[in-house]
Amino acid sequence: MRARKGASFQNEWQKAGRMSVLSCIQQYNPGLLILAATVCLTGIFIAVGLIYRAIQRDGKQRSGWLFLAATTGGSSVWCTHFIAMMAYKAPASVTFAPVATAVSLIVVIAGLALGFRLVITLPRAPELGGVVIGLSIVAMHYLGVAAYRIDGLVLWQYDLIAMSVIVGILFSAASAGVLMRFPRTWVSQAVALGLLALGVLTLHFIGMTALTVTPLRGLAAPDMHSLQIMAFAVAGVAFIVIGTGVATQLIDTDTAREAIEKLKQLALNDGLTGLPNRAAFSDYLGHELHRAELDGFNVAVIGINLDRFKQINDLRGHAAGDQALKIIGYRLGHLCRDGELVARIGGDEFSAIKRFTRQNELMEFLSRIETELFDPIKIKDFDAKIGASIGVAVYPQDGEETQQLINNADLAMYRAKKDVTRTVCFYEREMDEAARARSALGNDLRKAIEQNELELHYQVQHHVSSGKISGYEVLLRWRHPVRGLVPPMEFVPIAEETGLIVEIGEWVLRTACKEAASWPSDLRIAVNLSPVQFTRIGLERLVHQVLIETGLKASRLELEITESTIIEDRARALHVLRQIRALGVTIAIDDFGTGYSSLETLRSFPFDKIKLDRSFMTNAEINPQSRAIIRAVLALGKSLNISILAEGVETREQLNLLAIEGCDEAQGYYLGYPKPIMEIGTINRTPPAIADQGFAASDLAAIA
């Protein structure tokens, strides 16, 4: 801009007539002024939104959003300035210096980028970033004014220039403070936008007020039409840049929405089958129960467990198992109608919900489920018929709470699984309460291990011929805090089903061996092993480790197993038994004579002892058949050179019978009840409990 300064020009200005840009606001094109303000507000609005996006990101994504914010905001401010400049109806010819104009755009974009980054990275002093933003806008404005070429004389008022700089910086700093120090709401966003826009506009008009132009006489009037076209072209470019920012935000919003939907899908749907998962099932059931409470209809909760899925996994591999689940999931998902839902809960378990008013509606739904589950499915080159066990609990008669209905449906489903004659079982309170009590007992048993509620009782074993103690059998007892002593026949099967017997069995073995190590060296300790323990790898190593830790001689440990241990996994069980016996441990077969293949069991392994089941001792003194069986077992033991111990000796007559038939050892209530170690006292060869009953070698001599 050509300008002349100093008092020598004062008279000339007065003659020509001075014109303040602000005082001649009527000389502006109002349409272009509105366009400039629109560009300013729109661009800053989008820039503020982009800054919020940058705040939520880090690393390269943050830098990308800051660049977009700076480009959008800087371009908008730059376009606002030049559109407003071109809106002025200048009395003389006007041009723009291209280099200075381009530099002003670069300066404002770079300055805003730096300022925005400082605003974000200095959350305790965002106003410092606002100062940088204000300075960059000031620099852009006065570089733009410097690029404004008009044929006339120019005078600057420096006090107004300083005011414009201060106002621009203050408004920018205040906008940054609101942006970072207040929660993001439409109010805070509007205030931040308004302050920054106000800073840009006041800077421009105060800065232009500082400028006084005196046109030179005789010069051609400016081509206002060309300036208007240029202004609209600049505005068009501005809106393209702003549109780019808007499009980027929309794409990011859609991408985020799609990501959220995908995450929601993953959170509420099973990844393999595409069916709703456990969380979605619970939500839907809660919704249906609420509707049922208001509208009075019934809701059935259906538990489904596939019957032969494990066989497919074992025989055909997990890929075939997954394919089977996909097919079943597809079938069950596509059979659902209004008020029906099928979900995969996990593994080979599914659950369904049916809203109904008449019983036949529920039965029809169950029939459709059965059809899909029992129809053969084709997997590669083979057909599989899986089948399922189904349990049903109905709201409100079988429960009113979500978890209660699910639990009751599961109880009915487990009953269906055990009943080979039925596929579907409805919840029946009387029948399923026993299962519930059993489940509760299992939970208590798990706590019993942690809370040391388990204890060991010891039952004495005697040599029949001499009356001397040969050892003790350790028996597990559970002292429940509410129920008192729980019989082993109640909790041991539960421990085996849940796998807790492995942990319990190790504790029993370790504790019993530690106790027996302090006894006389000729007394043995007998410990029962569960078949479940043989399914775990390392039983032989555990026995060896316990013997070393406790210092108990291997020959003093007797491990008792039942026939079922060998029958369930013959090869593995025999291999483990051989390894344990190689340590020097005695192996006894317990409950002999009650199984289906007792003689085959004896042939398969060289047992050291046979424990004759207590059932054969009942009324043996008066029952010829029982006496014949006892005599046969004793003869078998002698021929195989295996020691025989008779369990369940409860009377002197039974003991006399065993002595006459030549039994080696005896155990039973007549000889001593199982007791805690503290009640037995000091263990020796003839404890008081036996001596009090008068059982001694002299008695046997008299019998002989």
Query: Per-residue pLDDT for 184 more than 90?
Result: no
Domains annotated on the chain, with CATH? 7-255 (no CATH), 278-427 (3.30.70.270), 451-703 (3.20.20.450)
Quick one: average pLDDT of 380-409?
88
Quick one: average pLDDT of 273-285?
89
pLDDT digits (tens, 9 = 90+) for 334-361: 999 999 999 999 888 999 999 999 999 9
- State how far the Cα of 51 lies from the Cα of 67, in Å rounded to an integer: 10
pLDDT of residue 17: 39
Coil, strand or helix: which one is 213?
strand
Quick one: average pLDDT of 278-292?
91
Counting every residue, how long is the chain? 704
pLDDT of residue 354: 94
Task: Single out the catalytic residue among 127, 340, 558, 647.
Answer: 647
Cis peptide bond N-terminal to 396, omega within 30: yes
- State how far the Cα of 471 lies from the Cα of 560, in Å rounded to an integer: 14
pLDDT of residue 215: 64
Burial bucket for residue 389 (CB in 10 Å: 0-12, 13-18, 19+): buried
Phi-psi region of 347 (alpha: psi -120 to 50; beta: other; left: phi over 0): left
Quick one: average pLDDT of 432-452?
83
For residue 5, CA distances in Å to 13, 150, 518, 698 come to 11, 15, 116, 143
Query: Per-residue pLDDT for 693 more than 70?
Result: no
User: In this structure, what token pair is assigned to residue 455?
Assistant: 């204890």
User: In this structure, what token pair is assigned to residue 299?
Assistant: 């809701």
Distance of CA 595 to the CA centre of its chain: 46
SS (H, E, C) 350-370: EEEEEEECCHHHHHHHHHHHH
Query: Per-residue pLDDT for 23 more than 70?
Result: no
Beta-ladder partners of 675: 458
> Could you give phi then psi for residue 682, rounded to 5 degrees?
-70, 120
| Cα Dmax for the chain | 157
- Active-site residue, 400 included: no
Least confident of 81-85, 323-327, 367-371, 390-394: 81-85
Confidence of residue 570 (pLDDT cuts 50, 70, 90): confident
pTM, 2 dp: 0.51
- State how far the Cα of 149 lies from the Cα of 67, in Å rounded to an integer: 31
Quick one: average pLDDT of 297-315?
87
Confidence of residue 576 (pLDDT cuts 50, 70, 90): very high
Quick one: average pLDDT of 546-551?
96
pLDDT of residue 691: 37
Q: Are residues 527 and 474 in contact, defined by beta-carbon separation less than 8 angstroms?
A: yes
Confidence of residue 90 (pLDDT cuts 50, 70, 90): low
Query: Per-residue pLDDT for 434 more than 90?
Result: no
User: In this structure, what token pair is assigned to residue 49?
Assistant: 């939104």
Confidence of residue 690 (pLDDT cuts 50, 70, 90): very low
- State how far the Cα of 700 lies from the Cα of 608, in Å rounded to an integer: 25
Query: Per-residue pLDDT for 540 more than 80?
Result: yes
Quick one: average pLDDT of 634-644?
92
Beta-ladder partners of 452: none
Query: Per-residue pLDDT for 367 more than 90?
Result: yes
Place of tokens 């040599």: 463
Quick one: average pLDDT of 25-35?
68
- State how far the Cα of 629 lies from the Cα of 646, in Å rounded to an integer: 12
User: In this structure, what token pair is assigned to residue 98?
Assistant: 């291209």
- State how far the Cα of 586 lies from the Cα of 485, in Å rounded to an integer: 30
Query: Per-residue pLDDT for 156 more than 60?
Result: yes
pLDDT digits (tens, 9 = 90+) for 581-593: 999 999 999 888 7
Query: Per-residue pLDDT for 362 more than 80?
Result: yes
Burial bucket for residue 258 (CB in 10 Å: 0-12, 13-18, 19+): exposed
First and final CA of the chain: distance in angstroms? 141
Contact residues for 14 (Cβ-Cβ < 8 A; gap 6+): none
DSSP 299: E
pLDDT digits (tens, 9 = 90+) for 593-624: 776 556 778 888 889 999 998 888 888 888 88
pLDDT of residue 686: 45
Query: Per-residue pLDDT for 449 more than 90?
Result: no
User: In this structure, what token pair is assigned to residue 265?
Assistant: 């899908």
User: In this structure, what token pair is assigned to residue 149?
Assistant: 């070429």
Quick one: average pLDDT of 310-330?
84
Helix (H), strand (E) at residue 680: helix 677-680
Q: Are residues 208 and 22 in contact, defined by beta-carbon separation less than 8 angstroms?
A: yes
Average pLDDT score over the chain: 82
Q: Are residues 673 and 459 in contact, defined by beta-carbon separation less than 8 angstroms?
A: yes
Closest CA to 140 of 227, 73, 61: 73
Over its C-alpha atoms, the chain yields an Rg (Å, rounded) of 47
Quick one: average pLDDT of 99-122?
85
Quick one: average pLDDT of 457-471?
94
Closest CA to 588 of 610, 564, 565: 610
Q: 194 vs 232, which has greater pLDDT?
A: 194
Q: Are residues 530 and 501 in contact, defined by beta-carbon separation less than 8 angstroms?
A: yes
pLDDT digits (tens, 9 = 90+) for 228-254: 555 555 656 666 666 676 677 667 666
pLDDT of residue 70: 84
SS (H, E, C) 124-182: CCHHHHHHHHHHHHHHHHHHHHHCEEECEEEEECHHHHHHHHHHHHHHHHHHHHHHHHC
pLDDT of residue 259: 62
Quick one: average pLDDT of 283-310?
90
Quick one: average pLDDT of 181-190?
84
